[in-house]
Structure formats: structure tokens, C-alpha cells
Structure 1
Amino acid sequence: MSFGGDSANSFVMHGEKGPEAITRTDAKKDLGIWLSPNVSFSLRLEKSAQKAFALLRMIRCTFSRITRTDFEILYGAYVRPLLEYANPVVYSGRTKDVILIERVQRAATKMVAGLKSMDYETRLVVLDLFPLEYRRLRGDLILTYALFEQGLANRVFTVDPANTRRGHGEKIFKLRGHTFIRQTFFSFRVVAAWNNLPQTVVHAPLELSSKHY
């Protein structure tokens, strides 16, 4: 985020320790998330993919043969968490970023013995996996469910108080998003999918809704 456009003047922030100059930086890492001036998470996704590919190479060098059981442990414990860390917040929405992250899972599924020659969709079925974009949506819905269960939904969404529309009784108003970045916010992108859920899912017990996530 820039201040003053292309101005050459320095900016100062006044805090408890006195005035401090605001230094310019093109990227900043905070809580494990890389942030860029344009509020895009592409850099974070690129670095996550790089780490994930490095781990895949390490796994290939360590194991001469990887069974399905080995894959479930290694991929689930070491690789996928890198790709899904802070997913509700860190979402780009750009096609190139979605493809980049999915490439990691494509490469990972090829390591399993006997699956390399199969197409990606078949490998997913055999390994009981889903595309990462699907898991992202699933995670968004589970978080939305948790917010309603804990009574925090009004802090994130504009909830329909009249409850006059068809479907379940926890509908969310979809506000206008005039920019691409706004449309990728969690509070915006999850609304349509959440409103289309059946009532049996929205009011299901918590332990069933979040199972295996």
C-alpha cells in the first residue's frame, strides 16, 4: 500500500517510542503470509508452491517407492498444509495462481506407484482426493458454518434478518463488489455457495460438518 503516490518525501509515524520513519518495501512477511503493495496474494502463493515443490523433490530422493498409504501420510502432513495455510484470507482468485497451486497436487499424485500414467482426474479418484479449489470452497463453507454456530456471523456478513427467502434460515446478503480484489474477499466469495446449501447441511451437527477437514 503506497502513501503519497510517487512523492519523494519521507513519511513519519509517531508512536510511543517517538517518530519513526516509514521505510518503503516491495513485500513484507507477517504471520507466515507474504503481502505486496497491491494487496495481492500472488507472491505468497508462488512462495508456497516453491516450498511445496522442494518438499516433493526431497520426498522423491528419500523414498524409492511411494505407496498410497505413504502418500496419504507424506502429502497430508508436509505438502498440503503449505498450500492451504490461511486459505480463507490468502486467496488470489487469479487463474494463473489457481493453476500454479493445482500443479503441485498434480505433481504429487504422480509419485504414487502405478499412477503416473493415469490422467489427473483418475489419480484423484484413486487417491480419494479433490481439486484444491474444491477444498478451498469447502474450507470457506466450514468457516462460515462455525461463525454462525458461535454467533459471530454478523461481524463478518450482512445476515438477512427477515429470513423470507427460500432455502435455509441463515441467508447472507451479497453486497456489491466493484473491484476484483473485493470480489475475492472471504465475506464476498462464499455468499452464493452458502446461500445455495440445503437446510440439512446448514443445520447439521458441527462434528459432522467439519469431519475429515
Structure 2
Amino acid sequence: MGTWSDTWLLRMHPEKCKHMHIGRHQRIMEGATGTYKLLGNNLMKTDKEKDIGVTIDNELTFDNHISEKVKDIDRLEAVQRRATKSLPGMGNLTYPERLRILKLPTLSYRRARGDMIELYKMINGIYDKEACTFIQLWKDVAERHSNRGNSKMLFPQQAKTQLRSNAFKIRTVKLWNSLPESVVSAPNINTFKNRLDKNWQNQDIVYNYKGNITGSDP
């Protein structure tokens, strides 16, 4: 490694470099190869590392990355919570009360709305289909399905861990399937947004951070 970096004039600092075995057989490989050195220094071993904002681990799962993002949700909402409380006349009001007066949705509501918009684009071919192969309509996968729900219901996928359940293709299915036909069959993205907002206008999550979206409004 040291010779390679010298040859290509890409010097690396040993104290800033680590090594990670990837895959199921990482323990076997580690026992066979021993320690790694760079310029005479032992490289520190790591089981997970962040690169361009994404955390990967030695089994190439995204459980750690998802966990970090889920913890960030509370921190992000806290920023808006503090900002609204600092406004004149808002200090003695609860967070939901402040949001209602300001007509300012919670960040969790905006994320849910953003998820639905992204799904609409994927299902309707606005994005490259090759990048959306994980999206499966129920009618294309199962021979039979309930007549309840909309005509573009997604086939639910199972999550073996709580962390995995927060992945986009898993967490969004139930919410999308709860939307009425008039929303999912919107002819274009702007109409979809307008119908979605109208359908969810009375949902608890709009102004209550710990609220949920339950079904659809009549």
C-alpha cells in the first residue's frame, strides 16, 4: 500500500486510514491475513464507516445508517420547535398550538408528504424505471387481492428488523395503500399534490409531531 501511494503520488496518512473486512466470511479472512500496515504503522480496524454521508458496515447493510437518520428526526423537529417558540406571543403555547396559528406543518408531515410524492413519480414513470424496480404493484405480484383500497396498491415487503422497517420501500407502502383512488389516480404531479393536501388537511400529524396519519378523510 505504501509503495502504491508513493508511485501514484497519492500519499495517505496512516493515522487517518482504517481497514474493514466486508462480507460474511470476514472473520475467516481476518484470521488468514492478520493485521494491515501502511508505512510501517498498523491500521485501525473498523466495523462501520461513513463515506459521502452514508454509513456502511462490514456486512454491507444500512442498519446503522438508517438508525442514525431516525435519531436525527427528533433533532430536526426540535429546531422548528425552538424557532416557533421564540416568536412573539408564542412562548406559552404548546408546539401544536403554535403550528396551527402559523399554519406550519410538522417536519414529520412534510417527510410523509414527500414520500408520497416520490412514490407517485416512481409509479407513473416520471423517474427512470430501471431505478425503481423495487416498486411492485400488488396487482402485478399477487393473483388475488382485496377490493378495498386503490387501484395502485403496492405489494407490502417484510422487514426482519425494526431498523429495516424504516427503509423507504417498506415504510411508505401502508401509507400509500391508504390513499383514496381520487388521489393516486391524479393525472399529473401538481393535481396529485393538491388532492393529497386536501385529503390530509385534517390529519393529526399536520400539526402534532407525535400524531399519525390514519386512513383517509371522507
**C-alpha distance in structure 2 between counterparts of 1:11 and 1:159, whole Å:** 49
Deviation of 1:164 after TM superposition, in Å, equals: 4.7
Partner of 1:198: 180
Which digits, 9 at most, give the CA deviation of each residue in 1:121-178, with x for residues without a partner?
1111112122222211111111101111216396122212258532221011112211
Secondary structure at 1:170's aligned position in 2?
A: coil
Partner of 1:180: 162
1:207 equivalent in alignment to 2:194: no
Does the CA contact (< 8 Å) of 2:66 and 2:166 recur in 1? Answer: no
Superposition map of 1:1-80 within 5 A: 2-3=21-22, 4-5=26-27, 7=30, 9=33, 26-30=48-52, 33-37=53-57, 39=62, 40-41=64-65, 45=69
Deviation of 1:42 after TM superposition, in Å, equals: 6.5
Which digits, 9 at most, give the CA deviation of each residue in 1:26-46, with x for residues without a partner?
53231xx2425373236865x
Partner of 1:87: none
**C-alpha distance in structure 2 between counterparts of 1:191 and 1:127, whole Å:** 31
Which digits, 9 at most, give the CA deviation of each residue in 1:14-56, with x for residues without a partner?
xxxxxxxx985653231xx2425373236865xxxxxxxxxxx
In structure 2, the CA distance between the partners of 1:203 and 1:101, relative to structure 1 (3 Å rule), is: same
TM-score for both structures, normalised by structure 1? 0.59
**C-alpha distance in structure 2 between counterparts of 1:210 and 1:23, whole Å:** 50
2:185 alignment partner AA: H
1:115 to 73, 90, 100: 90
Unaligned runs of at least 5 residues, structure 1 = 13-21, 46-91
Structure with greater Cα Rg: 2
Unaligned runs of at least 5 residues, structure 2 = 1-19, 37-42, 198-218
Does the CA contact (< 8 Å) of 2:67 and 2:163 recur in 1? Answer: no
Which digits, 9 at most, give the CA deviation of each residue in 1:184-206, with x for residues without a partner?
11111111111110001111231
In structure 2, the CA distance between the partners of 1:125 and 1:11, relative to structure 1 (3 Å rule), is: farther
Partner of 1:64: none
**C-alpha distance in structure 2 between counterparts of 1:193 and 1:141, whole Å:** 8
Secondary structure at 1:207's aligned position in 2?
A: helix
Q: In angstroms, what is the RMSD of aligned CA positions?
A: 3.4
Secondary structure at 1:146's aligned position in 2?
A: helix
Secondary structure at 1:171's aligned position in 2?
A: coil
Secondary structure at 1:106's aligned position in 2?
A: helix
Partner of 2:74: 99
In structure 2, the CA distance between the partners of 1:24 and 1:106, relative to structure 1 (3 Å rule), is: same
Does the CA contact (< 8 Å) of 1:171 and 1:195 recur in 2? Answer: yes
Q: How many residues get paired?
A: 153
